[in-house]
Amino acid sequence: MGGLLEEMFVLLLLILASPVLARLVKLPVIVVEILLGMALGPSLFGILTIGECFAGLALFGFIYLMFVVGLEVEVRHIKANLARVTAIALGSFLTPLFLGYLVALAYGLPAELIAVALSTTSMGIILPTVKELSGREEVGQVLLGAAILVDVISMFALAYVVEREFLSLDRLLILLATLAGLIVAVERLKKWTPTRERVKELIGEYHLDVRTSIALIFGLAVLAEYVGVHAIIGSFFAGLLISEVEEKVEGLLEKLLGFGYGFFIPIFFIAVGARTDLPLILSNVKALEVLAALLAAGFLGKILGTFIPSRLLGFTTQESLSMGFAMSARLSLIVAAAEIGLATGLITHEIYSMLVLLAIASVLLSPSLAKVAVGRRVIRVPEERPIP
């Protein structure tokens, strides 16, 4: 493609068209964005190439996406049913981790990265599924708490697998001390009435909450890079921090979702699609075999890892099976694992493309299978809802 203006114009057209197409084809908008990237990227028509500007915006979108994932983590869902949530989360994380590790070893893939990628789940699929999964409120609460805990564990596991060679203990302590200091400082300021009232005025007049969030995202992203880990680890921590100290996080969340999902995050997913080499997978029988094996390990691991502890904890067979299918959905973190793995040279372009296709398949299949398991009509993820 030509110059900067042409590149930006094409990206803006895709961002504008993707929600409309998502409604027409009844697919989640993020899946459509990835598919558009595949169609217009080098895989098919070659209209869209990842130039310097495109790559920079996509990186910002990646960092912002991980911030939103952290922001949507609510510890109260974990605390509400701590024992059950922990048991199901560990089963849902460890079983696909083990099966993914075995499959990766069998096919000569980077075992640790593949194992962590298959252990992830997608909060954006769990949230709409929870509302219709069962008549018992307890089922939805436990499922949501387990999904949140798996997200957090997966993020730490991904950071360990990818960055352990570059991370030093002294710099890690700097990152942890900074986070602890920020939490203490903000908590103290919240209790000081004059400061709290003044901050509320500034938020209303100047959107200080959004400005602070953006500054915190980049501040912790830079700090994370300094200590030797990927910037998304810092932005994820920024989301966790704000989710715990912000009094009205839902209002802030809406502002940040509008800012991110309106421009930067779609660019990231379009870039993911453009980087995916579809012909490389479809023209290679061996690659298709590996993809099928990863899909089987991912689904089987999540279903067994969730079903068995759920049954032991007293949930019915249908509830346990539906929870297993719901937990099988993966998107942001598996794409994050693929992006970081490709950037650091841990995986090839072929494996990257497999992980992206696996994520798309899980997003499309998991909600429907979860509803079928409880004998209800098939759930469709709302096209207008972003999927973190």
pLDDT of residue 197: 56
Q: Which residue matches tokens 């079903």?
A: 307
Q: Is the dihedral of CA 76, 80, 83, 86 positive or negative?
A: negative
pLDDT at 377 over 50: no
Please answer whether residues 217 and 65 qualify as being in contact, where contact means their C-beta atoms are separated by less than 8 angstroms: no
Q: In the predicted model, what is the mean pLDDT of residues 139-159?
A: 83
Could you give the CA distance from residue 4 to residue 52 in angstroms, rounded to a whole number?
Answer: 9
Is 312 part of any domain?
yes
Q: Is the dihedral of CA 76, 82, 88, 91 positive or negative?
A: positive
Q: In the predicted model, what is the mean pLDDT of residues 39-48?
A: 84
Please answer whether residues 159 and 237 qualify as being in contact, where contact means their C-beta atoms are separated by less than 8 angstroms: no
pLDDT of residue 136: 60
Q: In the predicted model, what is the mean pLDDT of residues 133-150?
A: 76
Q: Which residue matches tokens 């869902």?
A: 77
Q: What is the pLDDT of residues 267-320, one digit of tens each?
A: 999 999 998 988 888 888 999 999 999 999 999 999 999 999 999 998 888 888
Is 122 part of any domain?
yes
pLDDT of residue 355: 92
pLDDT of residue 280: 85
pLDDT at 123 over 60: yes
Tell me which of 68-77, 239-248, 353-362, 373-382 is least confident: 373-382
CB within 8 Å of 336: residues ≥ 6 apart: 62, 65, 66, 158, 232
Rounded to the nearest integer, the mean pLDDT of the chain is 80
Higher-scoring residue by pLDDT: 43, 244: 43
pLDDT at 56 over 80: yes
Is 213 part of any domain?
no
Q: Please report which confidence band the pLDDT of residue 356 belongs to, taking 50, 70 and 90 as the band edges.
A: very high
**Tokens read off for 88:** 């199901």
Is 256 part of any domain?
no
pLDDT of residue 299: 93
Q: In the predicted model, what is the mean pLDDT of residues 3-12?
A: 79
Q: Which residue matches tokens 């680890």?
A: 233
Could you give the CA distance from residue 58 to residue 52 in angstroms, rounded to a whole number?
Answer: 10
Please answer whether residues 54 and 7 qualify as being in contact, where contact means their C-beta atoms are separated by less than 8 angstroms: yes
Q: Please report which confidence band the pLDDT of residue 52 belongs to, taking 50, 70 and 90 as the band edges.
A: confident
Q: In a 3-state reduction of DSSP, which class is residue 135?
A: coil
Is 344 part of any domain?
yes
- The helix-helix angle for 349-373 and 123-133 (nearest 10°) equals 10
Give the largest Cα separation in the chain, rounded.
67
**Tokens read off for 278:** 């579809």
Q: What percent of the chain has pLDDT over 70?
A: 78
DSSP code, position 260: I
Is 308 part of any domain?
yes
Q: In the predicted model, what is the mean pLDDT of residues 75-100?
A: 87
Task: Estimate the share of the chain in helix, then strand, then coil, as percent rounded to the nearest 5.
Answer: 80, 0, 20
CB within 8 Å of 239: residues ≥ 6 apart: 66, 67, 68, 69, 70, 71, 72, 73
Could you give the CA distance from residue 296 to residue 289 in angstroms, rounded to a whole number?
Answer: 11
Could you give the CA distance from residue 228 to residue 153 in angstroms, rounded to a whole number?
Answer: 19
Q: What residues make up the domain containing 296?
A: 4-163+263-373
Is 31 part of any domain?
yes
CATH number at residue 282: 1.20.1530.20
Higher-scoring residue by pLDDT: 10, 352: 352
Q: Give the best-scoring range by mean pLDDT among 66-70, 156-160, 327-331, 355-359.
A: 355-359
Could you give the CA distance from residue 332 to residue 232 in angstroms, rounded to a whole number?
Answer: 12
pLDDT of residue 385: 46
Q: Which H or E run contains 324? A: helix 317-327
Number of domains, the chain: 1
Question: From the CB of residue 135, how many other CB atoms can be counted at a distance below 10 Å?
Answer: 9
Q: Which H or E run contains 197? A: helix 193-206
pLDDT at 96 over 90: yes
Q: In a 3-state reduction of DSSP, which class is residue 182?
A: helix
Q: Please report which confidence band the pLDDT of residue 9 belongs to, taking 50, 70 and 90 as the band edges.
A: confident
CB within 8 Å of 152: residues ≥ 6 apart: 73, 240
Predicted TM-score (pTM) of the model is: 0.80
Higher-scoring residue by pLDDT: 189, 322: 322
Is 170 part of any domain?
no
pLDDT of residue 26: 81
Tell me which of 112-126, 218-232, 277-291, 316-330 is least confident: 218-232
